[in-house]
Amino acid sequence: MTSVINGFHHVGLLTCDLDGLERAYTSFGFTLSPRSRHLLTEHPGAAPVPGCTANRCALFGDAYLELLGIVDDAAPDPWHTRAIAAEYEGFRLLNFDTTDASVTAAHLDDAGLRTSGVLDLERDVDTEDGPRTVRARAVHVDPRSTPEGHLGFAQHLTREYVHQPRYLHHRNGARALDAVLIVAEDDAFDDTTDRYTRVLRPTVERRGPVTVLRMSTGRLEIVRASDAPAVLPDQPVPAPSYLAALTIRVDDLATARDVVENGGTATRTTGDGFFVSARDAYGAALFFTAR
């Protein structure tokens, strides 16, 4: 295990309809942080500028779900978010947590992956002590190397301004982002699995058709596209390889399911919990488990 890469930092659902995305995840019982506009840098060393995106987040104390929206068509787009949305909207971003972005950038280079170098991110947020600026450092992998989605590594510089205690309680009892599932085109499956194994240096195991990469916290799961219907029955297929599903750990399955269904969304029973279709969750299938 690479010592500076610990687990998930955040995952991102991208949309041009942030209002609708917010309504959906609020109805699932997630508490969302207030909207926050991004200040972004286009290349290492550049000054952050106001970008075209804003977010709201479902926070768990370590990782979080980012609901990311394009909210200003006239604003700059230094991280090329409009181009990502033009391909398709939905579950597009996967970011791992690092304690040192510079070390991670060098590690990715050693693993044969081209990156953006270390970029700076800022966004202003309200705290119980008044306005504060969230600061982070990020490394983006060249998306031509990761057809399943946009891969990044992020380092918190002001974690306490992101994971504020007042936003960590969710009506559905959510406690953690346990897993991310990638569907890999059959011909790309071995390369995809090898790439993440080289980068994350996880413990690797098999669970039926799914290859599981266990990190210090959380699991990355990869399945061949031909096997995906057995794991994700009757789900949309936005691309040959794609970020497909999230597993959310909750305190109590019955409570979580009541919240989701009372919010107007149908669920399906799974072996260890229940499931919400990607059609209802803006492109990310959601597995809920109490394990």
Domain range 174-289, its CATH number among 3.40.50.1820, 3.40.960.10, 3.10.180.10, 3.40.50.300: 3.10.180.10
Helix (H) or strand (E) holding 107: helix 101-110
Residue 42 pLDDT greater than 90, yes or no: no
SS3 content of the chain, % helix, strand, coil (to 5): 25, 40, 35
Res 190: pLDDT: 97
Name the residue with tokens 């050693």.
110
Going from the C-alpha of 249 to that of each of 165, 192, 218, 287, the distances in angstroms are 18, 26, 11, 8
112: exposed, middle or buried (Cβ count in 10 Å: 0-12, 13-18, 19+): exposed
CB 277 within 8 A of CB 260: no
Residue 48 pLDDT greater than 90, yes or no: no
Judge if 5-167 and 174-289 fold alike in CATH terms: yes
Q: Where are the beta strands (DSSP E) in 146-272?
A: 150-156, 174-184, 203-207, 210-214, 219-224, 242-250, 268-270
Task: State residue 222 phi and psi, 5-degree precision.
Answer: -130, 135
Res 2: pLDDT: 47
Residue 202 pLDDT greater than 90, yes or no: yes
pTM of the model: 0.93
Over residues 217-232, the pLDDT tens digits come to 999 999 999 999 999 9
Name residues whose C-beta falls within 8 Å of residue 135's C-beta, 6 or more positions apart in sequence: 120, 121, 122, 157, 158
207 confidence band (pLDDT: 50, 70, 90): very high
Q: Mean per-residue pLDDT for 142-158?
A: 96
5-167 has which fold? 2,3-Dihydroxybiphenyl 1,2-Dioxygenase; domain 1 (3.10.180)
Half-sphere exposure of 51 (CA within 13 A, CB side): 26
From the CB of residue 42, how many other CB atoms can be counted at a distance below 10 Å? 16
**Strand 64-70 relative to strand 90-98: parallel, antiparallel, unpaired?**
unpaired
Q: Where are the domains of the chain?
A: 5-167, 174-289
Res 106: pLDDT: 95
Over residues 274-285, the pLDDT tens digits come to 999 999 999 999
What is the chain's mean pLDDT, rounded?
94
Over residues 183-198, the pLDDT tens digits come to 999 999 999 999 999 9
Residue 250 pLDDT greater than 70, yes or no: yes
